[in-house]
Amino acid sequence: MTPSPGATLPARAPAPVRPPTRVSAPSAVRALSLTEPLPGFPGHRDYVLVAADAAGLLFWLQSMAADGPRFLAVPAAAFFPDYAPALPGSVLTELGLPDRLAAEIFCLVTVPEGDVASATANLRAPLVVDRDTHRARQVVLTDGLHPIRRPLRR
């Protein structure tokens, strides 16, 4: 039966408001397995990438070995949005990446004598990471287009 044009329908209770679905934040610690050791550190292939700040702009790349090295690293895209190194196809194949855009790229940072204002990033030898498998490799670029010491300023 259809209500007449003048009839009023009973009021419905408003639908319950659901809170937004929470998306978990990326892990503050990621284990990385280097396919080749970092130059100068032949005995170290297993590292963890540890967030050093809540914004995800600074990371520690720490060897899993108790006496292993630790480096400060930054995501290249956050500091150098135009940085697009030509990665060798052999490296992409080794890491199982379809192309450079699938890679997560970090730059190792030097802070000379603790002077944060003089910090530089090494754009000549980026750390290339496969987000899915956590396999990584530092690539030394031979094209000469990128500096070893680029000032780290945002």
pLDDT at 114 (0 to 100): 86
| Residue given tokens 């135009």 in the structure block | 82
Report the candidate in 99, 95, 119, 118 with the shortest Cα–Cα distance to residue 109.
Answer: 119
Read off the pLDDT of residues 54-113 as tens digits, 9 standing for 90 and up: 998 999 999 999 999 999 999 999 999 999 999 999 999 999 999 999 999 999 999 999
How sure is the predictor about 37, in pLDDT bands with cuts at 50, 70 and 90? Answer: very high
Residue 153: pLDDT band (50, 70, 90) is: confident
**Cα–Cα dist 6/18, whole Å:** 34
Domain 29-151 has CATH 3.40.50.720: no
What single letter denotes the amino acid at residue 118? S
User: d(Cα 125, Cα 140) in Å, to the nearest integer?
Assistant: 4
Q: What is the 3-state secondary structure (H, E, C) of 83-98?
A: CCCCCCHHHHHHHCCC
